[in-house]
Amino acid sequence: MTKPKDTSGPAFGSAKVTRLRSGEIIGQEFSPGLTKREYFAAIAMQGVLANAHAYTDGSGDRLIEVALECADALLAALEGE
C-alpha cells in the first residue's frame, strides 16, 4: 500500500531571495500563491464556463458550486492514490 500524497500545499508558491553583489543573501520571502483547491477550482470553472448555460442560475452561484465540487473531488482522488 502506498502512502497518500500530500495535496495540501500551494499550487504556485514562489520565493524571493535578495542578494548583495557579493552573493550574500540578505533576505528571503515566500509567497504561498494559490492553494491547490483554488487552482483546481479556477481550471474547473474555465471548463464549466465553456458550457455555462447548463449550470447557470442567473447569479453565478451554481457555477461556483460546480467548480468547487470538481476541485474537491480531484483533491480527494489525489489523496487516495
Whole-number Cα distances in Å, 81 to 4, 6, 20, 40, 75 = 6, 10, 44, 17, 10
- The amino acid at residue 68 is L
Segment 17-51, tens digit of pLDDT:
787 888 887 877 877 778 888 888 889 888 888 87
How would residue 3 be classed by pLDDT, with cut points 50, 70 and 90?
low
Q: Tally DSSP H helices, then E strands, for the chain.
A: 2, 2
Residue 21: count other Cβ atoms within 10 Å of its Cβ: 5
Confidence (pLDDT) at 6 = 63
Whether 5 shows a pLDDT value over 70: the answer reads no
Whether 81 shows a pLDDT value over 70: the answer reads no
Every domain of the chain and the residues it spans? 35-81
